[in-house]
Amino acid sequence: MDFSLAGMTVLVSGGTRGIGRSVVEEFSREGANVAFCARSGYDVQVLEEQLSGARGRIEGSVVDVGHPGSLAKWVSESALSFGGLDIVVSAATAMALDDTDENWGVSLSIDLMGTVRLVKAALPHLELSSAPSIVAVSNVSGREADFAAGPYATAKTALAGYMAGLAFRVAPLGIRANTVTAGNTYYRGGVWAILEETDPEAYEAAVARNPTGRMGTPQEVADVVVFVSSPRASRVTGANILVDGGLSRGIQL
């Protein structure tokens, strides 16, 4: 399927690891121009080099999305450099699980307010696009009580609520806003890969809870993010789309 993304400009926060990285890679395969950011300069450089042969223009930046000024500057400079913005994907996460005051602060700053500020900075540019779209990447821990209950999960719950309200507010402007909620996603260097090494029993128990008998991949989530972001999903807004292999049991009415 042609997602009609060639030549469009996409902004991705948290774009060098896990789901965010796969999102950047998939947009680049579709011929989109992609501006992405992350905190590690090394990771940004590596991904830029790996995608140097992409059809579209790829540009990485070192940005701490928890710093309002840096985030707004990146959005503004990217829009100016690329001549506008069409799609914004918020994939940055602090992945702060432990119930500490520090983790509560960083989760709200990165996972929630990082998205809120990203959207606010991007909206004036998205209003000028012919097919504007916003997607936030969330996690099933935000909709069901599980091992991650605490700072991380609460921030993800709030994120889904924010995106639903945002979709309602920006619909008259022709802008779509959706959440893509991932289940347990395995990738090298990720939390599940680490747990597989440090606590094999806990890892196997987590795998067993999924009716598919496996964890998901970043690519499987990215495929949904790219479709939902694209003009081909023009009637989809205000949705919270699960990509979890049936892990969640709740019925969405």
Q: Which of 32, 33, 36, 31 is nearest to 47 (CA)?
A: 36
Counted residue by residue, the chain has a size of 253
- The active-site residue out of 42, 152, 162, 187 is 152
Q: How far apart are CA 82 and CA 33, in angstroms?
A: 8
Q: How far apart are CA 154 and CA 149, in angstroms?
A: 7
Q: Which of 144, 154, 149, 146 is nearest to 109 (CA)?
A: 154
Assess contact for 178 and 134: CB atoms under 8 A. Answer: yes
Q: How far is CA 13 from CA 95, 110, 141, 205, 215, in A?
A: 14, 10, 20, 31, 24
Report the C-alpha dihedral over residues 60, 65, 70, 72, rounded to 10 degrees. 90
Give one word for 251, left, alpha or beta, with left for phi > 0 and alpha for psi -120 to 50. beta
Tell me, yes or no, if 152 is annotated catalytic: yes
Q: Which residues are catalytic?
A: 152
